[in-house]
Amino acid sequence: MPEPRIGVVGATGAVGTVTLEYLRERGYANVRAFASARSAGTRLGDLTVEEATPEALSAGDLDLCLFSVGTATSRQLVPHAVRGGAVCIDKSSAYRLEPGIPLVVPEVNGERAREHDGILANPNCCTIPLTSALKPLHEEAGLARVRVATYQSMSGGGARAMERLRTTEPGAADLEMKWDFDGEDFDEEVKLRGETRKILELPDLPIAASCMRVPVMVGHAESVWIETVEPLAPERARELLARTLTLDDFPTPGRAAGRDDILVGRIRRDDTVLNGLAFLVVCDNLRKGAALNAIQIAELVLARQALHA
């Protein structure tokens, strides 16, 4: 199979730059960088940034496009890339809950990547670690209810949010909740619920979520409380989680930053409910929480194409 022709759209952003690093590390040589007109012509290593226009993306010279742009821009540009013959993996919320579009965490529901019609969605950066932890516990004992509180780093808000934290005077930083608000929920909480249900294929799973952004540069942490249908001892939960995640007694964003794995720890009984467990799950939101997960989806797609070549 010939070397895939890959386009990274949103290449100059916080996730886009990490995506390019991963592609280099994994040996992909035929890569192009796309961004807005403002960034066109700038250099990213040995790549010259091209403007992401409908014409450029639909020209028919790309096999795979990794989108790391806002929802509105994805909705505008992804269909043009698909029309040009590219398989698109989108990291925005534009397509995540669209019927018929796979929402994929490879370790959780990687088989869904086979079902695409040109578009696959990369989940929210908190949904990826959450579903990675919930899946083995559900398979063992069944999930009756999930409660989650997120502590999301500033890098989840993009390069401008990171710069704002850098220039904030010590002691002046505060919690943020700058998502759209419907009077009851932030849209980040709505996404976390809907995406988790879709990935786990549990449409009626009760999930309560509270999301906030904290003055940390990189790394999202989540406190999770679950109730299982059948009893599940903390010791058994540790065994199950250790198969796919990394056990850490006290996982923090600082310990997760720069790593590709998901950390899980403080796994303990929650005696306030029947069959209750509590734990922490943490990952680097720019890496496994975004760029790496998308590339892993892409590699599932490429592997399938190679089988049918």
Determine whether 158 is exposed, middle or buried from the number of CB atoms within 10 Å of its CB (0-12, 13-18, 19+): middle
**Quick check: is 125 catalytic?**
yes
Which amino acid type is present at position 27? G
CB half-sphere exposure, 82, CA atoms < 13 A: 15
- Strand-pairing partners, residue 221, are 151, 282
- Are 177 and 211 in contact by the 8 Å Cβ rule? The answer is yes
Of residues 230, 285, 292, the one with CA closest to residue 256: 285
**Contacts of residue 11, Cβ cutoff 8 Å, sequence gap at least 6:** 17, 19, 20, 33, 34, 35, 39, 44, 47, 49, 68
**Quick check: is 220 catalytic?**
yes
CA distance 29 to 32: 9
Considering 80, 88, 116, 125, which one is annotated as catalytic? 125
Considering 80, 116, 138, 220, which one is annotated as catalytic? 220
Write the DSSP symbol of residue 288.
I
- Strand-pairing partners, residue 65, are 7, 88
Catalytic residues: 125, 220
